[in-house]
Chain A
């Protein structure tokens, strides 16, 4: 039974050992390039001036916040339906990364909002739904750790994560459904991006850098969860051996 339980995670560990150094180097190179393009090589925006440079960290953070939550909900669904052990670990490993991206989107957005809108924070649809996303991540993490039995924690928190997924389309379309200060989508839209090339390039490079960073940390955190599970299994085995 043990062999079966660790079959997939063990194969994953071997895969992670090969892939991780490559992802690490790609991430470092992409961040260097993205920072150079974003801070030095790209021009200031004709309307927003130099504050446009905040877009290169704000938009990738917000995209990744949604991307991670979609991944979290998908992993939770797989874990609930097929009881796949690796999916459960992937969900648990994704949550703190997604929460960090959501936090960054909120903070960088606040720093951008002050000079552009004149306020650090407004209770508008996009901002409020992003704040709800942060609480969903934190709620998932808290519930996951709330039980002595890790299986029960995983199950309860997975249900919460799936129910919370309704928030993702709300965030995406909040700028179309409600009157808001936040500008609507300008990159992924009908008829192609409405952003000028020299400003679009650093945005895309930084977005890919954020994605490879996510994969890098995700690999490390899944390896951690697999190892922690092995420790738990060994401890239980030693405890039952001690009772005999």
Chain B
């Protein structure tokens, strides 16, 4: 347990180190989720428009 609290304390700089890693994690994961959702909704819109109209693609 002592090792863990020392790890979290980061030599007294934990209050700066962990928020930095936290914000990176939140932004990168958030951007990934937003991008995937946006792709899914575009694909749903395409499928809903005309399922048989695929010849426009390839």
Contact = CB atoms under 8 A, between A and B. Distances in A.
Interface of A: 2, 6, 10, 39-40, 44, 49-51, 53-54, 57-58, 61, 96-97, 100, 103-104, 107-108, 111-112, 114-115, 213, 216-217, 220-221, 223-224, 227-228, 230-231, 233-235, 237-238
A103 B27 contact: yes
A115 B58 CA distance: 56
A53 B19 CA distance: 12
What are the nearest 9 A-B pairs in CB distance? A50-B11, A227-B42, A50-B10, A224-B39, A108-B20, A220-B35, A111-B20, A57-B24, A228-B42
Q: Main SS of the interface on chain B?
A: helix
A110 B12 CA distance: 17
A227 B48 CA distance: 12
Given A6-B56, A224-B42, A234-B53, A49 B13 contact: yes
B1 interface: no
A223 B39 contact: yes
Instruction: Report, as a range, how many residues of chain B touch the other chain.
Output: 20 to 34
B11 A104 contact: no
Most chain A Cβ neighbours within 10 Å, of B12, B21, B24, B56: B24
Contacts of A107: 20, 23
A233 B50 CA distance: 12
A144 to B, nearest CB: 15
Contact of A96 (B12, B28, B31): B31
A100 B50 CA distance: 35
B21 A57 contact: yes
Contacts of B36: 220
Contacts of A44: 11
A6 B16 CA distance: 48
B56 A233 contact: yes
